[in-house]
Structure 1
């Protein structure tokens, strides 16, 4: 029976691994060793690859390809000096071997010398009959340098040589997106599609560009062409669903999202979008069902928990909203979006201490919105925690100097703490910033507002403003 290529490889692997177990020494030709090493490297079995290289070079000490595999392993292990020395020896023997230059470039790249890596790769192009991969490697080096124009050009050169290198096409689009060149991206994709009219990836990318430009009808047409080119292209159905949502065609959007569930394992994103569409259609039970499927499919997807929580907030069912946001926080205690909702819901339920804790946690996690500082302050005032409220606002003022909402509150707080000097100072600051906002004191500190001295200062500012 004649062995296929895969059968031959499997046979060689079996013999090699049997040899390692028995300590017998069997002969393999250099091509067999190359296939064995390649298999081990592809599958991350570095230790076995090293053994195969060592035995291979014992049996074929002059094999350049086996020595290049040794270089690849040395580079992987960060033994760059040894790898470089071996490459220099090989270059003296085979100056036209492109793989030598590619490995040299990788060493330069690992040393963060990306410009030299590019120079060496350009030398590789001169000796390579098929330079597509090398152009792609040059593109990656330019990305390391954040030179997106040259990176884009290099990936385009790769596509000129190999039109089906979709990773290069994605990289071209990444560069266009980073450079915010949407019109230019569409023009390039149309040229590409002139040569490859049934490339679903290109049609998909055209659609995404039009979507970003809010040209939804054109985006829809592009995604339809992507689906015509490949009717199992999940990404195209997903993006088409998003466009249909923007156009208010929710039933059609649901149909497209459902197709993705049939083509592959269900995704939390598809369930979430279906839920959003049902909610827009007023079909609240179906919306909630799909939101629950979202968090069941992926409990770590915060958008799912937020969708359920916001659903109940809109229904003014704050107890249910609190139940679900507590479940979300139990899964991820570091999610600031959860804590903001936790604070808001507890505030609505008049659980002020819990609400204050939620706002404090939001601030601790880096949510420095003015509203968060202010809401926490107002709750602390209600709880009679004036000193903590002052500390809160003094932190806020570092981020929002010359803010009337902060200054008026500090005025009332310092009066409440019997620190008149600071109170009058902040009152004048507040009035200079915005004299109309004095209503803050009237609402939060009515007794202080009615003081004769306070009213006189406020009236003097209002009369002159």
Structure 2
């Protein structure tokens, strides 16, 4: 790629400076060359070289305001704010209309979390600068730090009014809309922006994301399609388009889009997994499992892929293969609650209740405190006749779900099973109070309890 004249000049200056350091010869640079050299090293994190360049520059140009301002910037970077402030005060006395003084003053305020003062300083800078975009962007960022998203959005929009190709500002505008849950407002803004900039692939892509968030998948795919027409190498737009096509159940077209992403870049585990899911939806089982296996080969730690393989075989009622793959997953990550939950479900399907109970217990120990985990776990303990253990677990569950009828009905049934009628009655009343409509679940889970006259009498009171 051909370099611009400024880039060529900068590269020559850098080469000349680095040659000087190697040979210990002293070359002359004008002050602007030194500024570019120092800022280049600061931007690339090579602070030792930046400091050497600054020292030499001030020796050659001791009265240069521009170099002193670069020195202020370096001091701020190093959190030497008091020294930076003193130097800035000296520079203000010399050049009170230099916009860079107010910008660096704003940086000091910002470092001190005095964001309102930073904004005041930046607004003064606007009176003296020709580069409005950078100052508007800095004001927008200060408002972001203050969590004032509306004002931040206003100033990022000002950036785009100055330069429609400022994609950083466009992303920040959309971030503000997203944070404020203003999807419709974001769409209105983007449509207006696209009217004036119809070939902005980034705007089309962002428009698609807004439609997707509102579940308007037809419109989302339409917008992503324009983004890919404008830039046929726009990987992110193809991925989003494929996701939209999946939502529309256009699985063949989705696969085509995912395939394009793999032509543009190395195959990702995400794309491979989604292609597998699409093939499964199309009832192309051999292709589905082929892509699931490619996914775990590409990323052996991706839990969604192992779960997809396991669920695939569970749906086929092929429990032997399902248990084989979930065990492989557990061997890779034994602390993954989703793996243990699948392990439990498979063993439950094969009526291996002890193994199923172990799976639900391990899922709980790995951090799964979902209601269905407690319910399924205690179902297994009930099958094994371990009523006291089941009660203990459900009592723990009430700490997480204090007003859950499913837990109360189960506690009632289990207490009746161990002949603790008083506690059984107590929890039955709780369950009926919380949700009378679903009281018939007792008949399914505890048929003996359901037939008891005292249970029916309590139920009748709530029916009335």
Please give the range of the TM-score, normalised by the shorter of the 2 chains. 0.7 to 0.9
Measure, in 2, the Cα distance between the counterparts of 1:332 and 1:356: 19
The one-character-per-residue Cα deviations of 1:307-329 (angstroms, maximum 9, x if unpaired) are: 22221221122232233333334
In terms of mean alpha carbon deviation, does 128-137 or 336-345 score higher? Answer: 336-345
Any idea what the Cα deviations from partners look like across 1:113-162, whole Å, max 9, x if unmatched? 22222222212212111211111121122222222211111111000011
When residues 445 and 110 of structure 1 are mapped into structure 2, their CA distance, relative to the original with a 3 A threshold, is same
DSSP 3-state at the match of 2:131: coil
Aligned length: 459
Q: Which deviates further from its counterpart, 24-33 or 78-87?
A: 24-33
Q: Is the 8 A contact 1:227 1:233 kept in 2?
A: yes
* Counterpart residue number, 1:244: 245
- Structure 2 counterpart of 1:143: 144
Q: 1:68 to 1:207 in 2, by over 3 A?
A: same
SS at structure 2 position matched to 1:272: helix
Q: Is the 8 A contact 1:33 1:52 kept in 2?
A: yes
Q: Which residue of 1 aligns with 2:371?
A: 370
Provide the C-alpha distance between the structure 2 equivalents of 1:91 and 1:351, rounded to a whole number of angstroms.
80
State the match for 1:459 in structure 2.
Answer: 456
Question: d(CA) in 2 for partners of 1:266 and 1:250?
Answer: 18
Deviations 1:221-269 (A, max 9, x none): 3223222322222222222222322333222222222122112222222
Contact 1:130 1:161 in 2 (8 A): no
Asked if 2 retains the 8 angstrom alpha-carbon contact of 1:435 and 1:461, the reply is no
- Matched residue, 1:314: 315
Q: How does 1:5-84 map to 2 (within 5 A)?
A: 6=7, 8-21=9-22, 24-84=25-85
Q: 2:273·2:291 contact (CA, 8 Å) conserved in 1?
A: yes
Deviations 1:287-344 (A, max 9, x none): 2222222233333433322222221221122232233333334444454433332332
Gaps of 5+ in 1: none
Residues 227 and 411 of structure 1: CA distance in aligned 2, closer, same or farther (over 3 Å): closer
Answer yes or no: is the 8 Å Cα contact 1:409–1:440 preserved in 2: no
Deviation readout 1:359-392 (Å, 9 max, x if unpaired): 3343345433221111112223334444432332
Query: Could you list the runs of 5+ residues in structure 2 that have no partner in the other structure?
Result: none
Cα pair 1:346 1:355 within 8 Å, conserved: yes
2:163 aligns to what?
Answer: 162
Distance 1:200 1:345, change over 3 A: same
Using the alignment, how far apart are the partners of 1:28 and 1:165 within structure 2? Answer: 32
Deviates more, 1:51-60 or 1:344-353: 344-353
Deviations 1:57-100 (A, max 9, x none): 23322222322332223222222222222222222222222222
Q: TM-score, normalised by structure 1?
A: 0.88
